[in-house]
Amino acid sequence: MEEKHKKILQQNMTQLVKGLDLTDLYGALLKKDVFTKDMIDELQIAGIVQDQVRQLVQALETRGSRAFPLFLECLWETGQHRLAELLQTEAPTVPRQRPECKSYKMEASPCGHCLIINNVEFKPESALRNRRGSNID
């Protein structure tokens, strides 16, 4: 693993220990050949989850140059997007893989209705100032 990736993992260790969900992550790491089954078994008997995360990060650092990008992919695949983005902000060379999301295509004309509420005057007890320029907004 590259030194910059090791540094990213170490700098974010607290967030990883607090937020990493190992439930599906072990399977994803196994599927991508980041770890062997024996290695994962060894991590799982490490004790409490926080200790497992620390040992996982230490072991990850020894798994070669593809370990970090594959780890990020596993985070995305297991729905741990916040952690993946956190680690990725420091490592922009790894392409993001976002899950597909369906969007609604707006083709109607007009597309819909919009209600705009323009508050100009407020009651004195509200402690808000009147907005005389509100019509210009």
Pick 79 or 104 by higher pLDDT: 79
* Lowest model confidence (mean pLDDT) among 34-43, 57-66, 75-84, 103-112: 103-112
Q: Output the six-digit token pair for 26.
A: 């072990």
User: Where would I find the beta strands (DSSP E) of the chain?
Assistant: none
Cβ atoms 71, 34 nearer than 8 A: yes
Distance CA 73, CA 7 (A): 18
Q: Write down the mean pLDDT value for the chain.
A: 84
**Residues 6 or more apart whose Cβ sits within 8 Å of residue 4:** 90, 91
**Tokens 């994803």, residue located:** 28
Q: Residue ranges per domain, the chain? A: 3-88
**Amino acid type, 46:** A
> pTM for the complete prediction?
0.62
**Domain 3-88 CATH assignment equals 1.10.1760.20:** no
What pLDDT digit, counting tens, does each position of 67-84 carry?
Answer: 999 999 999 999 999 999
- In this prediction, residue 31 carries a pLDDT of 93
